[in-house]
């Protein structure tokens, strides 16, 4: 059996936590910071592609990887528009093997937009985005798929080169092990990925239970 691959890292700058009930993506994300994790709970007022667009607005043109269980036409079209405008310099996509049978129309539209060489099919439920250029190294981990999400969702945006390189190495191996148009049903080997990356141990101050009773959020837009 393949051993799970793991990555452990220190957080040099800290963690930002936000509950965003009414914010748009750019307000919820705020200003990107180096070596910082930003965790956001959203109630579905913006989508994963909104998140990507807002990140690219700050990073500038970047190489992007998207892993999703499913996708909608509108979000695929917006991804293609970001490529056409050179905001996305290159795009790789990982989708679940049953996306093709669940949503054949969307699947083939994705193939037409990006080409089969840019897409890999495997048994996956992982949702993440990698955004990387010479200045920024970002991994977005999320519960969102690449479609409309009118429900409680989470997003964690991590800026860390080692962490981004770890994800990119996993994606590189996926693209090497799976051929274009191949449907990979077996577990991947990921032979060249280390089992674990070491990190410096960190500690946090004690959090009183009473302080967790009432969620707080950093942005609110008053309804007109």
In a domain, residue 121? The reply is yes
Closest CA to 42 of 222, 224, 223, 218: 218
Q: Checking DSSP bridges between strand 137-142 and strand 88-96, what pairing results, if any?
A: unpaired
Contacts for 95 with CB less than 8 Å, ≥ 6 apart: 67, 68, 69, 70, 71, 107, 110, 119, 120, 121, 124
In a domain, residue 113? The reply is yes
In a domain, residue 13? The reply is no
In a domain, residue 14? The reply is no
Rounded CA-CA distance 207/140 in Å is 26
Q: Contact at 8 Å (CB) between 70 and 99? A: yes
Rounded CA-CA distance 160/136 in Å is 8
In a domain, residue 208? The reply is no
Q: Contact at 8 Å (CB) between 123 and 185? A: yes
CATH code, 66: 3.30.870.10
Burial of 70 (0-12, 13-18, 19+ CB in 10 A): middle
Confidence of residue 6 (pLDDT cuts 50, 70, 90): very low
Domain limits for position 103 = 20-26+36-194
In a domain, residue 82? The reply is yes
Q: Contact at 8 Å (CB) between 87 and 74? A: no
Quote the pLDDT of residue 217: 55
Q: Contact at 8 Å (CB) between 116 and 180? A: yes
pLDDT digits (tens, 9 = 90+) for 58-115: 999 999 999 999 999 999 999 999 999 999 999 999 999 999 999 999 999 999 999 9
Which range among 10-14, 49-53, 58-62, 88-92 shows the weakest confidence by mean pLDDT?
Answer: 10-14
Rounded CA-CA distance 177/78 in Å is 28
Domain count, the chain: 1
In a domain, residue 202? The reply is no
Which helix (H) or strand (E) segment holds residue 41: the answer is strand 36-42
Q: Checking DSSP bridges between strand 128-132 and strand 137-142, what pairing results, if any?
A: antiparallel
pLDDT digits (tens, 9 = 90+) for 117-146: 999 999 999 999 999 999 999 999 999 999
In a domain, residue 168? The reply is yes
Mean of per-residue pLDDT scores for the chain: 86
Q: Contact at 8 Å (CB) between 50 and 27? A: no
């Amino acid at each position: 059996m393949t051993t799970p691959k793991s990555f452990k890292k220190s957080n040099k700058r800290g963690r930002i936590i936000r509950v965003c009930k009414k914010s748009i993506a750019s307000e919820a994300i705020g200003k990107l910071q180096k070596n910082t994790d930003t965790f956001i709970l959203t109630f579905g007022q913006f989508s994963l592609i909104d998140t990507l667009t807002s990140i690219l607005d700050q990073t500038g043109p970047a190489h992007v990887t998207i892993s999703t269980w499913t996708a909608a036409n509108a979000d695929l079209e917006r991804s293609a528009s970001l490529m056409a405008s050179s905001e996305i310099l290159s795009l790789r996509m990982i989708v679940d093997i049953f996306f093709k049978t669940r949503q054949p129309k969307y699947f083939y539209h994705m193939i037409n937009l990006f080409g089969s060489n840019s897409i890999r099919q495997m048994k996956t439920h992982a949702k993440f985005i990698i955004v990387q250029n010479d200045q920024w190294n970002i991994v977005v981990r999320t519960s969102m798929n690449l479609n409309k999400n009118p429900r409680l969702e989470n997003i964690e945006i991590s800026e860390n080169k080692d962490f981004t390189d770890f994800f990119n190495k996993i994606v590189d191996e996926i693209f090497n092990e799976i051929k274009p148009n191949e449907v990979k049903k077996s577990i991947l080997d990921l032979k060249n990925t280390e089992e674990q990356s070491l990190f410096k141990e960190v500690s946090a101050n004690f959090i009183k239970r009473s302080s967790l009773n009432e969620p707080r959020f950093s942005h609110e837009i008053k309804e007109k």
